[in-house]
């Protein structure tokens, strides 16, 4: 299986390391040999070689020099779009950064890849949250797979559980803690930290960006609940359609009031059927001990599916991280391998 990788930051490098470290297991257990034939990154540079790249060399090189420009051989300097156009890879892995307003540059990469009959595995939420219908229809028309497990809770298999594990069920609602940064901050505030202290801690631990807006204002969770609603509840929504209130307005007093009676305030992303429509929201919500999401603390994430056949099914796991997402991208590649074997 020839793979082109667009985006060679933390996630892209983790993915590369995982497929290298696991190559024997992949051969033995899944009869799969993954060959990386292109890497393209706006900062780290780009190299394409249809005969396969030396993965170890590439990782060492970017570690030492910060770029892949020094790689011996291959075609250099192609941007993401040109890499997708030129590569003979069967699968394009899209691991560039998320932009929930335009979806770019990922959206163009995914469109180009699917349009030219390549499977796509995306960790980038932007294209999937903004153009779900267009992209899934394009994939179906071209008879290729579009997989995006890593867009929600990194590699924790929540989409696969919803789509395949719960096949045949009607999913009536989805409720989730889909942002680890805010869940960490709320947990710290329960323990007495102020909002500013909790934010500074989250930033110093690398959970929150210097500009934390996407997390604390609920945009990140909004992108994810839209993906879940579209994929599992036949909705056709965009992040801007989500009723959204972040955690910036929550006072320590409110949190104390909840914890005093054993409740917790969580930033809950929700999708539910109201009349004939699917309504989505991201709102600070008071949860009782009985709720399966109550115990999900720190940076952990979780999703509860309410189904007609099984009642509540909850998946709890990590929601972020380079190695986690790298592994998740591999799980998606294996799903494609299985489906096309």
Residues belonging to the active site: 224
How is residue 265 written in tokens?
């305030």
Q: Determine if 263 is a binding residue for its own copies (CB under 8 A).
A: no
Taking Cα atoms as reference points, which of 271, 177, 178 lies closest to residue 231?
271
Q: How far is the CB of 168 from its own copies (least distance, A)?
A: 4
DSSP string covering 311-336: EEEEEEEE---HHHHHHHHHHHHHHH
Q: Determine if 17 is a binding residue for its own copies (CB under 8 A).
A: no
Q: What mask of x and - would describe binding to its own copies in positions 141 to 180, judged by CB under 8 A?
A: -------------xxxx--xx--xxxxxxx----------
302: Cβ–Cβ under 8 A, 6 or more apart, which residues?
176, 177, 292, 293, 296, 314, 315, 316, 317
Residues pairing with 173 in the sheet: 272, 306
Q: Determine if 238 is a binding residue for its own copies (CB under 8 A).
A: no
Q: Determine if 318 is a binding residue for its own copies (CB under 8 A).
A: yes
How is residue 180 written in tokens?
């680890």
Q: Determine if 224 is a binding residue for its own copies (CB under 8 A).
A: no
Binding residues for its own copies, total number by CB under 8 A: 47
Q: How far is the CB of 157 from its own copies (least distance, A)?
A: 3
Neighbours of 142 (CB within 10 A): 16
How is residue 203 written in tokens?
């930033």
Instruction: Say how far apart CA 237 and CA 215 lie, in whole Å.
Output: 20
Q: Determine if 121 is a binding residue for its own copies (CB under 8 A).
A: no
Q: Roughly how many angstroms between the first and final C-alpha of the chain, as a whole number?
A: 11
Q: How far is the CB of 46 from its own copies (least distance, A)?
A: 26
Indicate the residue among 155 and 218 with the shorter CB distance to its own copies.
Answer: 155
Indicate the residue among 129 and 316 with the shorter CB distance to its own copies.
Answer: 316
Q: How far is the CB of 180 from its own copies (least distance, A)?
A: 12
- Helices 10-21, 55-65: inter-axial angle, 10-degree rounding: 150
144: Cβ–Cβ under 8 A, 6 or more apart, which residues?
114, 117, 118, 119, 120
Q: Which of positions 266-295 make contact with its own copies (CB under 8 A)?
A: 289-290, 292, 294-295
Q: How far is the CB of 19 from its own copies (least distance, A)?
A: 9
Q: Determine if 323 is a binding residue for its own copies (CB under 8 A).
A: yes
Phi, psi of 42 (to 5 degrees): -65, -25
Q: Determine if 117 is a binding residue for its own copies (CB under 8 A).
A: no
Indicate the residue among 167 and 210 with the shorter CB distance to its own copies.
Answer: 167
Find the binder of its own copies among 18, 36, 131, 171 (CB under 8 A). Answer: 18
CA-to-CA dists, residue 9 to 60, 282, 325, 337, angstroms: 14, 29, 12, 25
The residues of the shown chain that bind its own copies, judged by CB under 8 A, are 18, 22, 25-26, 30, 154-157, 160-161, 164-170, 289-290, 292, 294-295, 297, 307-318, 323-324, 326-328, 330-331, 333-335, 338
């Amino acid at each position: 299986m020839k793979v082109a990788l667009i985006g060679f930051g933390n996630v892209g490098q983790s993915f590369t390391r995982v497929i290298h470290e696991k190559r024997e297991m992949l051969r033995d257990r899944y009869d799969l040999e993954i060959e990386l034939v292109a890497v393209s990154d706006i900062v780290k540079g780009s190299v394409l070689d249809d005969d396969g790249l030396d993965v170890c060399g590439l990782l060492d090189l970017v570690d030492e020099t910060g770029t892949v420009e020094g790689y011996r051989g291959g075609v250099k300097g192609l941007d993401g779009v040109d890499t997708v156009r030129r590569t003979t890879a069967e699968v394009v892995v899209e691991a560039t950064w998320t932009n929930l307003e335009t979806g770019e540059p990922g959206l163009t990469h995914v469109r180009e890849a699917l349009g030219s009959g390549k499977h796509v595995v995306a960790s980038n939420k932007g294209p999937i949250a903004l153009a779900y219908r267009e992209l899934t229809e394009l994939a179906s028309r071209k008879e290729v797979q579009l997989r995006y497990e890593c867009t929600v809770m990194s590699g924790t298999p929540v989409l696969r559980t919803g789509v395949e594990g719960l096949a045949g069920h009607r999913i009536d609602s989805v409720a989730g803690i889909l942002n680890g940064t805010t869940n960490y901050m709320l947990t710290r505030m329960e323990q007495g930290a102020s909002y500013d202290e909790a934010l500074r801690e989250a930033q110093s631990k690398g959970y929150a960006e210097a500009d934390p807006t996407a997390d604390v204002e609920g945009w990140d969770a909004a992108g994810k609940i839209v993906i879940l609603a579209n994929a599992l509840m036949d909705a056709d929504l965009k992040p801007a359609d989500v009723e959204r209130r972040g955690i910036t307005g929550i006072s320590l007093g409110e949190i104390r009031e909840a914890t005093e009676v054993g409740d917790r305030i969580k930033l809950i992303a929700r999708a539910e059927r109201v009349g004939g429509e699917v309504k989505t929201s991201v709102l600070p919500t008071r949860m009782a001990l009985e709720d399966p999401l109550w115990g999900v603390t720190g940076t952990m994430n979780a999703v509860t599916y309410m189904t007609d056949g099984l009642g509540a099914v909850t998946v709890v796991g990590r929601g972020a991280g380079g190695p986690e997402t790298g592994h998740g991208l591999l799980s998606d590649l294996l799903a494609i391998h299985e489906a096309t074997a």
